[in-house]
């Protein structure tokens, strides 16, 4: 049937078909956390660049214990010592300081008797002891990071060690977040009868940022067609992806779909066989992706995680989130024709519903470790059934 809503997988596939990789741009390493590398990083020099000491102590020639050595200089980190160490000589040396010419080992402070201008070695000193060789970590020309690599703290550190201050990265997605509804008030505002705080705008912005994207516009608009149009036009002019919540249904005060369509956004799907989150709208305009999410807070979260989050991963070059599974710890009733995302807590590989599952009940999401995807069907899904989990982290 043409009007049959898509299921979750079909809707995700539809979105994937319109998700194209954002361009790469030069990014300071300090701003690149979470981005995806769009080039190969090659070590520009040996790391370490010179042989250096692994300990605080004395650089000397290897040999037997009991030798008394004359201290002829000091090599400190960042301040090498330009002398050549001969037999019977030593250089005082710090961790990370360059090994002086002639020395092939370092006696740690703990195994010498330090008399100031002389030291006596209390232990035999074998060649290479406590010496880190040049290039021991990276060799000049080594391929350090491959394109497509997601940049975490360690990747950023090694890129800098390899000589880089900037990296070519797929740029961060620019996202506009818009909450609709006459009844919504700013966080903290005093409420009149029938009003509520706009929690979606805060949650959706946080989800966008947690997905590694940048919020370029966050705004509320009332249930007015002209205001909705102009705010959406602004969003489309600034963002790669627009997420809006509420106003997407077919009531007389729902203007979201009409406004997007009027602005040239093409509807790709409307409604998903999903609970919560059935009234979800997706459209595209050139390379821009537009999500009209339902207004109920839990529906907005679930549909963001199912649909907007994978799109953000795809356009930012990240791989899809790893799937995870668990076992139902209790029987859960099934919806006859919608797959359901049930808020669950995890207990030793088994999951249990956290409480009431209404699409307006945020408190049971706050108790949840994940969402369990309960496929549609008759009756209940029995305790012990394997189920797929959806992470609450995008
Ligand atoms: P709607 O989709 O506009 O019909 O809204 C459905 C329900 O979600 C209504 O009870 C709204 O008050 C509520 N709602 C809509 N937008 C928000 C929001 N930004 N924050 C919290 N609740 C909302
Ligand atoms: Mg509304």
How do residues 206-265 score in pLDDT, each as one tens digit? 999 999 999 999 999 999 999 999 999 999 999 999 999 999 998 999 999 999 999 999
- The DSSP element (H or E) to which 284 belongs, if any, is strand 281-285
pLDDT value at position 1?
Answer: 44
- The atom number, within ligand 1, closest to the CA of 179 reads 19
- Tokens in use for 117? 């201008």
Residue ranges in the chain whose pLDDT is less than 70: 1-2
308 CA to centre of ligand 1 in angstroms: 18
303 CA to centre of ligand 1 in angstroms: 14
Q: Which ligand is nearest to the CA of 251?
A: 1
Taking the C-alpha atoms of residue 205 and residue 198, their distance in angstroms, rounded to an integer, is 12
pLDDT value at position 267?
Answer: 98
179 CA to centre of ligand 1 in angstroms: 8
Atom 10 of ligand 1, residue of closest alpha carbon: 296
Handedness of CA 101, 103, 105, 111 (dihedral sign): negative
pLDDT value at position 172?
Answer: 98
198 CA to centre of ligand 1 in angstroms: 8
CB 288 within 8 A of CB 232: no
Taking the C-alpha atoms of residue 342 and residue 348, their distance in angstroms, rounded to an integer, is 18
- The atom number, within ligand 1, closest to the CA of 294 reads 2
Taking the C-alpha atoms of residue 61 and residue 92, their distance in angstroms, rounded to an integer, is 13
pLDDT value at position 3?
Answer: 72
- The atom number, within ligand 1, closest to the CA of 183 reads 12
For 314, residues 6+ apart whose C-beta sits below 8 A from its C-beta are 16, 19, 21, 320
Taking the C-alpha atoms of residue 155 and residue 92, their distance in angstroms, rounded to an integer, is 34
For ligand 1, which residues put their CB under 6 angstroms from it?
179, 181, 183-184, 196, 198-201, 245-249, 294-297
Q: Which ligand is nearest to the CA of 280?
A: 1
What are the chain's domains? 8-23+171-315 (3.40.980.10), 24-46+137-170 (3.90.105.10), 52-132 (2.170.190.11), 324-391 (2.40.340.10)
């Amino acid at each position: 049937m043409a009007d049959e809503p898509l299921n979750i997988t079909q809707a995700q596939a539809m979105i994937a078909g319109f998700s194209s990789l954002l361009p790469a741009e030069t990014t300071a390493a300090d701003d690149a956390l979470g981005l995806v590398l769009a080039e190969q990083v090659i070590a520009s020099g040996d790391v370490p660049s010179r042989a250096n000491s692994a300990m605080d102590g004395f650089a000397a020639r290897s040999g037997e214990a009991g030798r008394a050595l004359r201290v002829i200089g000091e090599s400190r980190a960042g301040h090498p010592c330009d002398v050549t160490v001969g037999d019977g000589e030593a250089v005082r040396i710090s961790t990370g300081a360059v090994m002086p010419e002639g020395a092939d080992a370092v006696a740690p402070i703990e195994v010498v008797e330090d008399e100031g201008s002389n030291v006596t070695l209390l232990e035999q000193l074998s060649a290479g002891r406590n010496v880190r060789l040049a290039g021991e970590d990276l060799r000049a020309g080594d391929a350090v990071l491959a394109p497509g690599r997601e940049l975490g703290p360690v990747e950023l550190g090694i890129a800098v060690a390899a000589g880089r201050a900037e990296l070519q990265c797929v740029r961060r997605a620019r996202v506009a977040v818009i909450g609709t509804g006459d009844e919504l008030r700013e966080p903290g505002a005093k409420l009149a009868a029938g009003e509520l705080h706009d929690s979606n705008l805060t949650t959706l912005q946080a989800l966008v940022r947690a997905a590694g994207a940048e919020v370029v516009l966050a705004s509320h608009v009332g249930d007015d067609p002209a205001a909705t149009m102009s705010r959406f036009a602004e969003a489309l002019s600034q963002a790669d992806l627009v997420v809006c919540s509420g106003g997407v249904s077919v009531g007389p005060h729902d203007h979201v779909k009409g406004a997007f369509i009027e602005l040239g956004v093409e509807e790709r799907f409307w409604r998903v066989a999903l609970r919560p989150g059935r009234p979800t709208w997706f459209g595209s305009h050139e390379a821009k992706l537009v999500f009209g999410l339902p207004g109920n807070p839990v529906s907005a979260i679930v549909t963001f995680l199912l649909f907007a989050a994978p799109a953000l991963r795809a356009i930012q070059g990240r791989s899809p989130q790893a799937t995870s599974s668990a076992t139902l710890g209790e029987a859960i009733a099934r919806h006859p024709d919608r797959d359901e995302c049930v808020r669950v807590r995890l207990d030793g590989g088994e999951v249990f519903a956290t409480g009431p599952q209404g699409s307006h009940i945020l408190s049971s999401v706050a108790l949840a470790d994940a969402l369990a995807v309960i496929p549609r069907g008759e009756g209940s899904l029995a305790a012990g059934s394997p189920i797929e989990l959806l992470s609450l982290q995008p």
